[in-house]
Each structure stands twice: as structure tokens, then as C-alpha cells.
Amino acid sequence: MPFFRLFHRNPLKNLDLGKLKKTRLELQRQSDDLIRDIDTLGKEYELVRQQGAAAKSAVEKNSIARRMESLDKSRTSKTRTQNDIDLRLAFINNLIIIGERREDLKSIGAWDYLAGLTEEQLEKDVINLQLADQDEDTRLKNIAALTEGPQAAPVVEEGLGRYLDEIDAQKNKEALKAAEEGEAAASAEAAARERAVLDAWKEAEIGIKRPEPAPREPEKEKRLEEA
């Protein structure tokens, strides 16, 4: 996990929510711009690739390949930058949520602990909390859990355990069903092949045992014609 150094020191020591929200807006703008650039580069890359298929000489083909390489490197670089910005946004979002619960955190003694961390340790502890997806009580519990040390596990939102179990059960059910369908299809295919072999064997056997028609006697045929 990279350390971004967005601030010169722990931003909770002298909290400025307005500044944090301004930083969030700027990072969001940068992320949106990069997403558009990445999409444009992807479309241009596909167009150039199609042009390469119509190249009429090795020189033209190599030129197009170099263009594709350049576009791909640019797209990869911008994607990496955009991912880093998304991580910074997650950090800032969580800091804003923590700042908005300052009084509650002070009342349970968690605020002074968080404000006393180095910026690097604060970022490490806070960046993966995903507070935006949690209700207020769960947010407070997970923020307070940081005071127990970096190994503290996030609190699972109450009432979700059953649904999470159902999701896992459904995944297992679908995996089992897919496996059973695969086995059934394989068995049906094997049975069809076996029937085909048996049918072919029976036809061959009948063909071998079928008696040939007896030749007709000339004298008998002559008498029949005269009659």
C-alpha cells in the first residue's frame, strides 16, 4: 500500500473539514478526467489495432505496432494513477466521516489516540475501513476499534450475518448445480456413444447372418411362362 503524504502531518490534529472536502472534490475531478482519458485511449487503441490488420507492408505494420505500444503504455500509466487517486479518495472520505464524529470519538477516548498517530500510520489504519458503506453505529464501532491496534478486525454490521451466509450458500448451491449438470451431460453423452456402438454392432451382425435369396431354376421358370 503506497503512502501518499497528502498532508504535512496528521490532519486530525487541527481538523479542517472544509479543507478535506475541497481536497475530495479535487481528487474526484482528477479521477473523472482520468477515466475519460482511459476510455478514449482504449477506443483509439482498438481503432489502430484494426488498421494494423489491413497493413499492406511490414514497415506499415511495424509503425502501427509501435503506435499501439505507445497507446497501451499511456493507458496503463493513467490507469495506475487513477487507481492511486481512488485510494486517496477512500482515505479522504474516511477522514471526513471520522471528523464528523469527532465529539462522539472524544467521549469514548478514541479521538486523542487517532490524532496522535503519524500520518503514515493513520493512513494505513483508516484507508480500508469503507465507512461510507456502513450505518452510523457500525462506523463508530469500527473507528473505535482502531484504538485496539492495527490488527483489530472491522465490525460486521449487525443483522447482515444471515444474509452473508445466504449469499455463500447460494454460491455453493450454484457451484454444485453446475457440477451436477456437467456430470449429467457427460453421462448422457457417454450413454449416447454406447448406444451408437451397440446399434452399429447389431446392424453389422444382422447383415452377416441375413441369407442371400436362392437362385431361380431355369426349367421351373420356363414352365411358369408357358402356363
Does residue 153 fall inside a structural domain? no
- Claim to verify: residue 39 and residue 111 sit in the same structural domain: yes
Distance CA 93, CA 111 (A): 17
pLDDT digits (tens, 9 = 90+) for 33-75: 999 999 999 999 888 888 877 778 888 888 888 888 999 999 9
> Which among 121, 148, 175 is the end of a domain?
148
- Claim to verify: residue 143 and residue 178 sit in the same structural domain: no
- Claim to verify: residue 144 and residue 167 sit in the same structural domain: no
Does residue 29 fall inside a structural domain? yes
Does residue 167 fall inside a structural domain? yes
Are the C-beta atoms of residues 152 and 146 closer than 8 Å to each other? Answer: yes
| φ, ψ at 54 (rounded to 5°) | -100, 5
Are the C-beta atoms of residues 97 and 132 closer than 8 Å to each other? Answer: yes
Q: Report how many domains make up the chain.
A: 2
- Claim to verify: residue 83 and residue 186 sit in the same structural domain: no
Measured over the CA atoms of residue 86, residue 89, residue 91 and residue 93, the dihedral's sign is negative
pTM of the complete model beyond 0.75: no
pLDDT band at 152 (very low <50, low <70, confident <90, very high): very low
Q: Can you say how many angstroms the Cα of residue 17 is from the centroid of all Cα atoms in its chain?
A: 34
Q: Which domain holds residue 182?
A: 161-210
Does residue 80 fall inside a structural domain? yes
- Claim to verify: residue 32 and residue 115 sit in the same structural domain: yes
- Claim to verify: residue 129 and residue 60 sit in the same structural domain: yes
Does residue 83 fall inside a structural domain? yes
Does residue 5 fall inside a structural domain? no
- Claim to verify: residue 89 and residue 182 sit in the same structural domain: no
Distance CA 52, CA 69 (A): 12
Q: Which string of DSSP letters, residue by residue, matches 83-137?
A: HHHHHHHHHHHHHHHHHHTHHHHHHTT-HHHHHTS-HHHHHHHHTT--GGGS-HH
Distance CA 65, CA 68 (A): 5
Residue 14: Cβ-neighbour burial (10 angstroms; 0-12, 13-18, 19+): exposed
pLDDT digits (tens, 9 = 90+) for 73-132: 999 999 999 999 988 888 898 889 888 888 988 888 888 888 888 888 888 888 777 787
- Claim to verify: residue 96 and residue 183 sit in the same structural domain: no
Helix (H, G, I), strand (E, B) or coil at 4: coil
Does residue 127 fall inside a structural domain? yes
- Claim to verify: residue 111 and residue 193 sit in the same structural domain: no
pLDDT digits (tens, 9 = 90+) for 2-36: 444 566 678 888 888 898 899 899 999 999 999 99
- Claim to verify: residue 62 and residue 139 sit in the same structural domain: yes
- Claim to verify: residue 138 and residue 40 sit in the same structural domain: yes
- Claim to verify: residue 128 and residue 181 sit in the same structural domain: no
More confident of the two residues 159 and 9: 9
